[in-house]
Structure 1
Amino acid sequence: MTPAAQDHLAILAEQRADLEAERLRIEKAYCLAVLDHITAKIRAVCPEAVYVSFAFYSSSRTLDLHCVLGAQTSPLGTCPELWDNEGEPEDEHPLDDIADQIESDVQTALAPYASPAWATVGRNAASDGNSWLLELPPADRVSRVAELVRAHHPEATAVIVDGRSAGGRIIEVVEGSGEDGSQNLTTQRRWSRECEDVLTRLVGQIFAMPTLAGRHLDAIHDYRHPYGTSSELVRLMTLPPTA
Protein backbone atom coordinates (compact mmCIF):
# COMPACT_ATOMS: atom_id res chain seq x y z
CA MET A 1 0.00 0.00 0.00
CA THR A 2 1.35 3.38 -0.97
CA PRO A 3 1.79 6.18 1.60
CA ALA A 4 -1.01 8.13 -0.09
CA ALA A 5 -3.36 5.15 0.17
CA GLN A 6 -2.44 4.68 3.83
CA ASP A 7 -3.18 8.33 4.56
CA HIS A 8 -6.52 8.07 2.77
CA LEU A 9 -7.41 4.93 4.71
CA ALA A 10 -6.52 6.62 8.00
CA ILE A 11 -8.73 9.60 7.15
CA LEU A 12 -11.65 7.32 6.31
CA ALA A 13 -11.15 5.32 9.51
CA GLU A 14 -11.24 8.52 11.56
CA GLN A 15 -14.37 9.70 9.77
CA ARG A 16 -16.03 6.35 10.35
CA ALA A 17 -15.20 6.51 14.06
CA ASP A 18 -16.61 10.03 14.29
CA LEU A 19 -19.80 8.97 12.52
CA GLU A 20 -20.22 5.96 14.80
CA ALA A 21 -19.77 8.15 17.88
CA GLU A 22 -22.37 10.57 16.55
CA ARG A 23 -24.73 7.69 15.76
CA LEU A 24 -24.43 6.44 19.34
CA ARG A 25 -25.12 9.92 20.72
CA ILE A 26 -28.22 10.27 18.56
CA GLU A 27 -29.38 6.76 19.46
CA LYS A 28 -29.14 7.50 23.19
CA ALA A 29 -31.02 10.77 22.81
CA TYR A 30 -33.69 9.02 20.75
CA CYS A 31 -34.19 6.30 23.37
CA LEU A 32 -34.76 8.90 26.07
CA ALA A 33 -37.05 10.96 23.84
CA VAL A 34 -39.20 7.89 23.18
CA LEU A 35 -39.30 7.16 26.90
CA ASP A 36 -40.32 10.74 27.69
CA HIS A 37 -43.03 10.60 25.03
CA ILE A 38 -44.69 7.47 26.37
CA THR A 39 -44.25 8.62 29.98
CA ALA A 40 -46.22 11.78 29.20
CA LYS A 41 -48.99 9.73 27.59
CA ILE A 42 -49.14 7.36 30.57
CA ARG A 43 -49.26 10.15 33.15
CA ALA A 44 -51.85 12.08 31.17
CA VAL A 45 -54.40 9.42 32.14
CA CYS A 46 -52.63 7.92 35.17
CA PRO A 47 -50.77 10.71 37.04
CA GLU A 48 -49.71 8.40 39.89
CA ALA A 49 -47.72 6.13 37.55
CA VAL A 50 -44.12 5.52 38.65
CA TYR A 51 -43.10 2.17 37.16
CA VAL A 52 -43.82 0.02 34.13
CA SER A 53 -43.51 -3.71 34.78
CA PHE A 54 -42.57 -6.10 31.99
CA ALA A 55 -40.92 -9.38 31.05
CA PHE A 56 -37.78 -8.99 28.94
CA TYR A 57 -36.30 -11.51 26.51
CA SER A 58 -32.64 -10.69 25.91
CA SER A 59 -32.18 -13.02 22.94
CA SER A 60 -34.73 -11.10 20.86
CA ARG A 61 -34.56 -7.73 22.68
CA THR A 62 -38.36 -7.85 23.03
CA LEU A 63 -40.68 -7.58 26.00
CA ASP A 64 -44.17 -8.35 27.23
CA LEU A 65 -45.92 -5.55 29.08
CA HIS A 66 -47.35 -6.54 32.47
CA CYS A 67 -48.68 -3.52 34.32
CA VAL A 68 -48.19 0.04 35.55
CA LEU A 69 -47.38 0.58 39.23
CA GLY A 70 -47.46 3.50 41.63
CA ALA A 71 -44.95 4.59 44.26
CA GLN A 72 -43.94 2.25 47.05
CA THR A 73 -45.74 3.48 50.16
CA SER A 74 -43.31 2.03 52.72
CA PRO A 75 -39.85 0.40 52.73
CA LEU A 76 -41.39 -3.03 53.29
CA GLY A 77 -44.48 -2.48 51.17
CA THR A 78 -45.10 -3.25 47.53
CA CYS A 79 -45.89 -0.85 44.73
CA PRO A 80 -49.64 -0.54 44.16
CA GLU A 81 -50.86 -1.84 40.84
CA LEU A 82 -52.62 0.95 38.94
CA TRP A 83 -53.32 -0.93 35.73
CA ASP A 84 -52.96 -4.54 34.58
CA ASN A 85 -52.37 -5.22 30.90
CA GLU A 86 -53.68 -8.74 31.43
CA GLY A 87 -56.72 -7.69 33.45
CA GLU A 88 -60.27 -8.81 32.87
CA PRO A 89 -62.21 -7.15 30.02
CA GLU A 90 -64.64 -5.59 32.46
CA ASP A 91 -61.77 -3.83 34.28
CA GLU A 92 -61.68 -0.93 31.87
CA HIS A 93 -58.93 1.67 32.21
CA PRO A 94 -57.81 4.56 29.95
CA LEU A 95 -54.39 2.90 29.59
CA ASP A 96 -56.06 0.04 27.71
CA ASP A 97 -56.19 2.30 24.66
CA ILE A 98 -52.42 2.80 24.53
CA ALA A 99 -51.24 -0.60 25.82
CA ASP A 100 -49.67 -1.55 22.49
CA GLN A 101 -47.89 1.80 22.27
CA ILE A 102 -46.55 1.47 25.83
CA GLU A 103 -45.13 -1.94 25.02
CA SER A 104 -43.69 -0.80 21.69
CA ASP A 105 -42.14 2.41 23.03
CA VAL A 106 -40.60 0.81 26.12
CA GLN A 107 -39.16 -1.90 23.88
CA THR A 108 -37.73 0.76 21.55
CA ALA A 109 -36.22 2.70 24.46
CA LEU A 110 -34.51 -0.45 25.76
CA ALA A 111 -33.53 -2.04 22.45
CA PRO A 112 -29.93 -0.74 22.23
CA TYR A 113 -27.52 -2.33 24.69
CA ALA A 114 -26.09 1.11 25.47
CA SER A 115 -29.46 2.81 25.98
CA PRO A 116 -29.35 5.13 29.01
CA ALA A 117 -32.90 4.02 29.75
CA TRP A 118 -31.44 0.78 31.14
CA ALA A 119 -30.08 2.74 34.09
CA THR A 120 -33.68 3.13 35.29
CA VAL A 121 -34.48 -0.60 35.11
CA GLY A 122 -34.26 -3.04 38.00
CA ARG A 123 -35.62 -6.43 38.93
CA ASN A 124 -39.11 -6.56 40.35
CA ALA A 125 -38.43 -7.72 43.90
CA ALA A 126 -42.09 -8.63 44.34
CA SER A 127 -41.83 -11.31 41.64
CA ASP A 128 -39.67 -14.42 41.33
CA GLY A 129 -40.00 -14.69 37.57
CA ASN A 130 -38.96 -12.70 34.54
CA SER A 131 -40.25 -9.38 35.81
CA TRP A 132 -38.55 -6.00 35.55
CA LEU A 133 -39.46 -2.48 36.59
CA LEU A 134 -38.68 0.60 34.54
CA GLU A 135 -38.89 3.80 36.57
CA LEU A 136 -40.57 6.52 34.55
CA PRO A 137 -38.52 9.74 34.28
CA PRO A 138 -39.56 12.95 36.04
CA ALA A 139 -41.26 15.60 33.95
CA ASP A 140 -38.35 17.99 34.64
CA ARG A 141 -35.00 16.31 35.24
CA VAL A 142 -33.13 19.49 36.17
CA SER A 143 -35.73 20.49 38.75
CA ARG A 144 -35.58 16.99 40.21
CA VAL A 145 -31.78 17.26 40.49
CA ALA A 146 -32.22 20.59 42.28
CA GLU A 147 -34.70 19.08 44.75
CA LEU A 148 -32.43 16.15 45.58
CA VAL A 149 -29.30 18.28 45.92
CA ARG A 150 -30.94 20.94 48.10
CA ALA A 151 -32.43 18.29 50.37
CA HIS A 152 -28.82 17.78 51.54
CA HIS A 153 -27.19 21.10 50.56
CA PRO A 154 -29.87 23.78 51.15
CA GLU A 155 -27.55 26.60 50.04
CA ALA A 156 -26.62 24.98 46.73
CA THR A 157 -26.88 27.26 43.71
CA ALA A 158 -25.29 24.96 41.13
CA VAL A 159 -23.44 21.69 40.67
CA ILE A 160 -20.37 20.84 38.65
CA VAL A 161 -20.86 17.70 36.61
CA ASP A 162 -18.50 15.47 34.65
CA GLY A 163 -19.75 13.68 31.55
CA ARG A 164 -16.79 11.29 31.48
CA SER A 165 -17.93 9.30 34.52
CA ALA A 166 -20.98 7.01 34.26
CA GLY A 167 -22.32 9.25 31.51
CA GLY A 168 -22.58 12.12 33.97
CA ARG A 169 -21.81 12.56 37.65
CA ILE A 170 -21.85 15.43 40.14
CA ILE A 171 -18.29 16.08 41.31
CA GLU A 172 -18.74 19.34 43.23
CA VAL A 173 -21.56 21.36 44.76
CA VAL A 174 -21.56 25.16 44.51
CA GLU A 175 -22.85 26.69 47.74
CA GLY A 176 -23.04 30.37 46.89
CA SER A 177 -20.07 32.74 46.65
CA GLY A 178 -17.44 34.00 49.05
CA GLU A 179 -16.77 37.63 49.93
CA ASP A 180 -14.24 37.84 47.11
CA GLY A 181 -16.83 36.66 44.60
CA SER A 182 -15.32 33.20 44.15
CA GLN A 183 -17.57 30.17 44.27
CA ASN A 184 -17.80 28.10 47.44
CA LEU A 185 -17.15 24.58 46.18
CA THR A 186 -17.33 21.33 48.08
CA THR A 187 -16.65 17.75 47.07
CA GLN A 188 -18.14 16.55 50.39
CA ARG A 189 -21.51 15.51 49.06
CA ARG A 190 -23.88 14.74 51.93
CA TRP A 191 -26.41 12.54 50.19
CA SER A 192 -26.73 8.77 50.47
CA ARG A 193 -25.48 6.16 48.03
CA GLU A 194 -29.05 5.63 46.84
CA CYS A 195 -29.46 9.35 46.19
CA GLU A 196 -26.10 9.40 44.40
CA ASP A 197 -27.35 6.66 42.07
CA VAL A 198 -30.50 8.63 41.24
CA LEU A 199 -28.56 11.84 40.64
CA THR A 200 -26.05 10.04 38.44
CA ARG A 201 -28.85 8.62 36.30
CA LEU A 202 -30.49 12.01 35.92
CA VAL A 203 -27.27 13.87 35.13
CA GLY A 204 -26.32 11.17 32.63
CA GLN A 205 -29.66 11.60 30.89
CA ILE A 206 -29.24 15.38 30.78
CA PHE A 207 -25.84 14.93 29.11
CA ALA A 208 -27.40 12.48 26.63
CA MET A 209 -30.21 14.82 25.54
CA PRO A 210 -28.83 17.64 23.34
CA THR A 211 -31.70 20.02 24.07
CA LEU A 212 -31.32 19.71 27.84
CA ALA A 213 -27.53 19.73 27.69
CA GLY A 214 -27.48 22.85 25.56
CA ARG A 215 -29.91 24.63 27.86
CA HIS A 216 -28.53 23.67 31.26
CA LEU A 217 -24.87 22.63 30.96
CA ASP A 218 -22.39 25.48 30.64
CA ALA A 219 -18.72 25.13 29.79
CA ILE A 220 -16.22 25.97 32.55
CA HIS A 221 -12.91 27.57 31.64
CA ASP A 222 -9.67 27.06 33.58
CA TYR A 223 -11.28 24.47 35.84
CA ARG A 224 -9.02 22.31 37.98
CA HIS A 225 -10.58 18.87 38.31
CA PRO A 226 -10.61 17.80 41.99
CA TYR A 227 -9.65 14.26 41.03
CA GLY A 228 -6.90 15.23 38.63
CA THR A 229 -8.51 13.88 35.46
CA SER A 230 -9.46 15.60 32.22
CA SER A 231 -11.86 18.54 32.44
CA GLU A 232 -12.96 18.23 28.81
CA LEU A 233 -16.53 17.20 29.67
CA VAL A 234 -16.89 19.13 32.93
CA ARG A 235 -19.88 21.47 32.95
CA LEU A 236 -21.64 23.86 35.34
CA MET A 237 -25.33 23.18 35.89
CA THR A 238 -27.15 26.04 37.58
CA LEU A 239 -29.96 24.79 39.81
CA PRO A 240 -33.41 26.31 39.29
CA PRO A 241 -35.41 27.60 42.27
CA THR A 242 -37.19 24.98 44.36
CA ALA A 243 -40.12 25.31 46.71
Structure 2
Amino acid sequence: MKKKTLIIFFFIFLLPNSVLAESYYFKKCQLSEKVFADYIINLSSNKINVKLRTTDGNTQELSDKIKSITKDQIVSEIIQSGSGKEYYFQYYLDAKSKSITKLKYKMNNGVLGVDGPKQKNYCADVKSDWVKNKKEKIEEEKKKKLKAKQEKEIIEAKKKKEAEIKKKEKEKNHREILVMDNEWIKLSEAGNVSMEHLTTLFRERALDLCYPFENFDILDQYTEVMEMDETPAFGIETVVRFAMKGIVKCK
Protein backbone atom coordinates (compact mmCIF):
# COMPACT_ATOMS: atom_id res chain seq x y z
CA MET A 1 0.00 0.00 0.00
CA LYS A 2 2.84 2.35 0.86
CA LYS A 3 4.51 1.69 -2.50
CA LYS A 4 1.25 2.39 -4.33
CA THR A 5 0.79 5.65 -2.43
CA LEU A 6 4.30 6.79 -3.34
CA ILE A 7 3.65 6.02 -7.00
CA ILE A 8 0.47 8.12 -6.90
CA PHE A 9 2.17 10.98 -5.06
CA PHE A 10 5.03 11.16 -7.53
CA PHE A 11 2.94 10.61 -10.65
CA ILE A 12 3.26 14.29 -11.50
CA PHE A 13 7.05 14.13 -11.62
CA LEU A 14 6.90 11.40 -14.26
CA LEU A 15 4.97 13.57 -16.69
CA PRO A 16 7.06 15.10 -19.52
CA ASN A 17 7.42 18.89 -19.78
CA SER A 18 5.16 19.01 -22.83
CA VAL A 19 2.32 17.56 -20.74
CA LEU A 20 3.05 19.82 -17.78
CA ALA A 21 2.63 22.82 -20.05
CA GLU A 22 -0.89 21.76 -21.09
CA SER A 23 -3.91 23.42 -19.48
CA TYR A 24 -6.40 21.19 -17.63
CA TYR A 25 -9.43 22.41 -15.77
CA PHE A 26 -12.79 21.80 -14.11
CA LYS A 27 -14.92 24.86 -14.89
CA LYS A 28 -18.46 25.98 -14.14
CA CYS A 29 -18.67 23.77 -11.08
CA GLN A 30 -21.85 24.58 -9.15
CA LEU A 31 -21.01 24.40 -5.45
CA SER A 32 -24.37 25.80 -4.33
CA GLU A 33 -27.30 27.73 -5.75
CA LYS A 34 -25.31 30.96 -5.64
CA VAL A 35 -21.66 29.85 -5.83
CA PHE A 36 -19.77 28.57 -8.88
CA ALA A 37 -16.08 27.70 -9.17
CA ASP A 38 -13.38 27.19 -11.79
CA TYR A 39 -10.43 24.92 -10.96
CA ILE A 40 -7.42 25.47 -13.23
CA ILE A 41 -4.81 22.74 -12.81
CA ASN A 42 -1.19 23.84 -13.11
CA LEU A 43 0.91 20.67 -13.19
CA SER A 44 4.21 22.52 -13.59
CA SER A 45 3.74 24.34 -10.27
CA ASN A 46 1.80 21.46 -8.67
CA LYS A 47 -1.10 23.76 -7.81
CA ILE A 48 -4.81 24.20 -8.42
CA ASN A 49 -5.82 27.79 -9.07
CA VAL A 50 -9.39 28.33 -7.89
CA LYS A 51 -11.74 31.14 -8.86
CA LEU A 52 -14.99 31.40 -6.90
CA ARG A 53 -17.92 33.42 -8.28
CA THR A 54 -21.27 34.26 -6.81
CA THR A 55 -24.43 35.01 -8.74
CA ASP A 56 -24.32 38.61 -7.49
CA GLY A 57 -20.92 39.17 -9.14
CA ASN A 58 -18.44 38.74 -6.27
CA THR A 59 -15.23 36.79 -6.97
CA GLN A 60 -12.41 35.29 -4.94
CA GLU A 61 -9.20 33.64 -6.15
CA LEU A 62 -7.31 30.95 -4.24
CA SER A 63 -4.40 28.61 -4.87
CA ASP A 64 -4.25 25.09 -3.42
CA LYS A 65 -1.42 22.58 -3.52
CA ILE A 66 -1.87 19.23 -5.25
CA LYS A 67 -1.36 16.21 -3.03
CA SER A 68 -1.61 13.44 -5.62
CA ILE A 69 -2.49 12.67 -9.23
CA THR A 70 -3.79 9.46 -10.77
CA LYS A 71 -5.04 8.86 -14.30
CA ASP A 72 -8.60 9.84 -13.30
CA GLN A 73 -8.25 12.04 -10.25
CA ILE A 74 -6.42 15.01 -8.79
CA VAL A 75 -6.49 15.44 -5.01
CA SER A 76 -5.73 18.64 -3.12
CA GLU A 77 -3.73 18.90 0.06
CA ILE A 78 -5.75 19.12 3.29
CA ILE A 79 -6.59 22.82 3.65
CA GLN A 80 -7.45 24.74 6.80
CA SER A 81 -10.99 26.10 6.64
CA GLY A 82 -12.02 29.66 7.33
CA SER A 83 -14.64 28.30 9.74
CA GLY A 84 -12.08 27.87 12.53
CA LYS A 85 -8.58 26.62 13.24
CA GLU A 86 -9.82 23.11 14.07
CA TYR A 87 -11.68 22.74 10.76
CA TYR A 88 -10.12 21.52 7.51
CA PHE A 89 -11.24 20.31 4.10
CA GLN A 90 -9.92 18.49 1.05
CA TYR A 91 -11.35 18.08 -2.45
CA TYR A 92 -11.11 15.53 -5.25
CA LEU A 93 -11.37 16.48 -8.93
CA ASP A 94 -12.72 13.37 -10.65
CA ALA A 95 -12.29 13.03 -14.41
CA LYS A 96 -14.73 10.15 -14.91
CA SER A 97 -17.72 11.79 -13.23
CA LYS A 98 -16.63 15.37 -14.08
CA SER A 99 -17.22 16.34 -10.50
CA ILE A 100 -15.60 17.80 -7.41
CA THR A 101 -16.01 15.97 -4.11
CA LYS A 102 -15.31 17.83 -0.88
CA LEU A 103 -14.46 16.15 2.43
CA LYS A 104 -14.57 18.08 5.70
CA TYR A 105 -12.28 17.31 8.65
CA LYS A 106 -12.17 18.35 12.28
CA MET A 107 -9.25 18.21 14.69
CA ASN A 108 -10.18 16.61 18.02
CA ASN A 109 -7.47 16.08 20.65
CA GLY A 110 -4.77 16.19 17.99
CA VAL A 111 -6.52 13.66 15.76
CA LEU A 112 -7.94 14.72 12.40
CA GLY A 113 -11.22 12.99 11.60
CA VAL A 114 -13.90 13.24 8.92
CA ASP A 115 -16.54 15.79 9.84
CA GLY A 116 -19.86 15.07 8.17
CA PRO A 117 -20.83 13.55 4.81
CA LYS A 118 -18.98 14.24 1.58
CA GLN A 119 -20.25 16.95 -0.76
CA LYS A 120 -20.27 16.16 -4.48
CA ASN A 121 -20.88 18.78 -7.17
CA TYR A 122 -20.65 18.56 -10.95
CA CYS A 123 -18.76 20.70 -13.45
CA ALA A 124 -20.08 21.70 -16.88
CA ASP A 125 -16.73 22.21 -18.63
CA VAL A 126 -13.89 19.75 -17.97
CA LYS A 127 -10.56 19.05 -19.63
CA SER A 128 -8.87 16.20 -17.81
CA ASP A 129 -7.00 14.12 -20.38
CA TRP A 130 -3.55 14.56 -18.83
CA VAL A 131 -2.80 10.82 -19.06
CA LYS A 132 -4.06 10.58 -22.64
CA ASN A 133 -1.98 13.59 -23.55
CA LYS A 134 1.02 12.01 -21.90
CA LYS A 135 0.70 8.93 -24.11
CA GLU A 136 0.10 11.05 -27.20
CA LYS A 137 3.11 13.24 -26.46
CA ILE A 138 5.33 10.21 -25.89
CA GLU A 139 4.19 8.71 -29.20
CA GLU A 140 4.67 12.05 -30.91
CA GLU A 141 8.19 12.34 -29.49
CA LYS A 142 8.97 8.81 -30.71
CA LYS A 143 7.71 9.68 -34.19
CA LYS A 144 9.75 12.90 -34.23
CA LYS A 145 12.91 11.06 -33.17
CA LEU A 146 12.30 8.34 -35.77
CA LYS A 147 11.68 10.94 -38.47
CA ALA A 148 14.81 12.87 -37.48
CA LYS A 149 16.82 9.64 -37.53
CA GLN A 150 15.48 8.72 -40.97
CA GLU A 151 16.17 12.21 -42.31
CA LYS A 152 19.71 12.04 -40.92
CA GLU A 153 20.24 8.63 -42.53
CA ILE A 154 18.93 9.96 -45.86
CA ILE A 155 21.27 12.98 -45.68
CA GLU A 156 24.24 10.79 -44.75
CA ALA A 157 23.44 8.34 -47.56
CA LYS A 158 23.15 11.25 -50.01
CA LYS A 159 26.49 12.69 -48.85
CA LYS A 160 28.11 9.26 -49.13
CA LYS A 161 26.75 8.80 -52.64
CA GLU A 162 27.91 12.28 -53.67
CA ALA A 163 31.36 11.55 -52.22
CA GLU A 164 31.51 8.28 -54.16
CA ILE A 165 30.47 10.04 -57.37
CA LYS A 166 33.12 12.71 -56.83
CA LYS A 167 35.70 10.04 -56.09
CA LYS A 168 34.76 8.11 -59.22
CA GLU A 169 34.81 11.31 -61.24
CA LYS A 170 38.20 12.19 -59.82
CA GLU A 171 39.56 8.69 -60.37
CA LYS A 172 37.87 7.90 -63.69
CA ASN A 173 41.15 8.50 -65.56
CA HIS A 174 43.26 6.67 -63.00
CA ARG A 175 44.91 3.41 -63.99
CA GLU A 176 46.63 0.84 -61.79
CA ILE A 177 49.87 -0.46 -63.23
CA LEU A 178 51.72 -3.70 -62.47
CA VAL A 179 54.73 -4.88 -64.46
CA MET A 180 57.10 -7.75 -63.60
CA ASP A 181 60.68 -8.40 -64.60
CA ASN A 182 61.21 -11.81 -66.17
CA GLU A 183 64.80 -11.97 -64.97
CA TRP A 184 65.71 -13.70 -61.70
CA ILE A 185 68.28 -11.81 -59.61
CA LYS A 186 70.56 -13.26 -56.97
CA LEU A 187 69.50 -12.03 -53.56
CA SER A 188 73.03 -10.84 -52.78
CA GLU A 189 72.93 -8.59 -55.87
CA ALA A 190 69.34 -7.38 -55.51
CA GLY A 191 70.32 -4.12 -53.80
CA ASN A 192 72.41 -2.97 -56.77
CA VAL A 193 70.03 -3.90 -59.57
CA SER A 194 68.97 -1.09 -61.91
CA MET A 195 65.22 -0.53 -62.15
CA GLU A 196 65.48 1.25 -65.49
CA HIS A 197 64.09 -1.75 -67.36
CA LEU A 198 61.05 -1.94 -65.05
CA THR A 199 60.54 1.82 -65.37
CA THR A 200 60.42 1.45 -69.15
CA LEU A 201 57.94 -1.42 -68.88
CA PHE A 202 55.86 0.66 -66.46
CA ARG A 203 55.71 3.60 -68.90
CA GLU A 204 54.80 1.38 -71.85
CA ARG A 205 52.03 -0.30 -69.86
CA ALA A 206 50.70 3.08 -68.72
CA LEU A 207 50.52 4.38 -72.29
CA ASP A 208 48.67 1.24 -73.37
CA LEU A 209 46.10 1.54 -70.58
CA CYS A 210 45.67 5.29 -71.06
CA TYR A 211 44.97 5.10 -74.79
CA PRO A 212 43.57 7.24 -76.46
CA PHE A 213 45.19 9.65 -73.98
CA GLU A 214 48.73 10.40 -75.06
CA ASN A 215 50.27 11.14 -71.69
CA PHE A 216 49.92 10.53 -67.97
CA ASP A 217 51.03 11.70 -64.54
CA ILE A 218 52.49 9.21 -62.08
CA LEU A 219 50.54 9.41 -58.82
CA ASP A 220 52.24 6.47 -57.13
CA GLN A 221 55.13 4.21 -58.11
CA TYR A 222 57.23 1.67 -56.20
CA THR A 223 59.12 -1.60 -56.64
CA GLU A 224 58.89 -4.74 -54.57
CA VAL A 225 59.96 -8.37 -54.58
CA MET A 226 57.14 -10.36 -56.15
CA GLU A 227 58.70 -13.81 -56.11
CA MET A 228 61.48 -15.59 -54.25
CA ASP A 229 63.02 -18.96 -55.06
CA GLU A 230 65.21 -20.48 -52.38
CA THR A 231 65.94 -23.60 -54.45
CA PRO A 232 66.74 -22.32 -57.96
CA ALA A 233 67.35 -24.74 -60.81
CA PHE A 234 70.78 -23.24 -61.36
CA GLY A 235 73.08 -22.40 -58.46
CA ILE A 236 72.47 -22.60 -54.74
CA GLU A 237 71.80 -18.94 -53.88
CA THR A 238 68.28 -17.62 -53.36
CA VAL A 239 66.98 -15.61 -56.31
CA VAL A 240 64.19 -13.02 -56.57
CA ARG A 241 62.07 -11.31 -59.20
CA PHE A 242 61.08 -7.65 -58.96
CA ALA A 243 57.87 -5.93 -59.94
CA MET A 244 56.89 -2.30 -60.24
CA LYS A 245 53.47 -1.09 -59.14
CA GLY A 246 51.78 2.26 -59.26
CA ILE A 247 48.88 4.48 -60.25
CA VAL A 248 48.84 6.94 -63.12
CA LYS A 249 46.39 9.61 -64.19
CA CYS A 250 45.80 9.67 -67.92
CA LYS A 251 45.68 13.04 -69.64
TM-score category of the 2 structures, normalised to the smaller one: under 0.3
Higher RCO, 1 vs 2 (CA within 8 Å, ≥6 residues apart)? 1
> What TM-score do the two structures reach when normalised by structure 2?
0.21
More helix by share: 1
